[in-house]
Amino acid sequence: MSVCTGAFLLAKTGLLAGKAATTHHGSYGQFAMQFHDIQLKRGYRFVEAGDHLATAGGLTSGMDLALRVVERYYGRFIAERTAFYMEYQGTGWRDATGASNAVYAAKPKGDGRIDPVCGMPVSTGAALESSYKGTTYHFCSQGCKNQFDRAPSEYVSGK
C-alpha cells in the first residue's frame, strides 16, 4: 500500500507494472511520463490492484484506503467503528471503486501556464522559468524548476 507519491516507489520496484494505480494529483503528469506501463487513474482516492496491492492519492485518501483495507478484512461495522474512534468523518473509503475524487481528474485551469513537472497552474507573474529548445516553461516552485533543469526532455514530449 502506498499513499501520495509513495506510488513512485512501488512503481520503481516493478510491482505496479501492467496494473492500475493513482498518486497525488499534483504528480499525475510526472507519474504518467515516467511509468508508461502503469494505468494512471486520475480522480481516484485509491486504487486496489488485486488483493494485496493498493495506491492512494493525497494524505486523507490514504486514510480512506486504510479504512477500506480494514473493511475488506474485518467488515463494514469494524471499519465504521474505527473511523468513529479516530473521529474521522470522511466517507471516501465506502466507495470501493475509489472514484470519489473526480474533482482532481481534470487538468488544472489557469492562464495557460502549467508547470510541466507537477502539472499545477502557474500564476502570470511567476518569475521561475527555464527555456528548452526555444520554448519557455514556467514553474510553481524552485524544486520543480530544478527537477526540470536536470532533465527537461523527461517533461516535454515531442520537442
What are the pLDDT digits (tens) for 79-119? 999 999 999 998 888 887 777 887 777 765 555 678 887 77
Q: Does domain 107-159 have CATH number 2.40.170?
A: no
Let me know: does 11 contact 47? Beta carbons within 8 Å.
Answer: no
| Kind and range of the H or E run holding 76 | helix 76-85
Range 29-58 average pLDDT: 89
Give the rounded percent of residues in the chain with a pLDDT score beyond 70: 93
Pairing of strands 2-3, 54-56: parallel
The half-sphere exposure of 3 on its side-chain side, counting CA atoms within 13 A, is 10
Q: Write the CATH number of the domain with boundaries 2-104.
A: 3.40.50.880
pTM: 0.71
Tell me what pLDDT residue 159 has.
Answer: 43
Tell me what pLDDT residue 120 has.
Answer: 75
What are the pLDDT digits (tens) for 4-31? 999 999 999 999 999 999 999 888 888 8
Residues in the chain: 159
Q: Please report, for the chain, the start and end positions of each structural domain, with discontinuous segments joined by +.
A: 2-104, 107-159
The DSSP symbol for 20 reads E
The DSSP symbol for 102 reads G
Least confident window among 72-81, 92-101, 122-131, 150-159 = 150-159
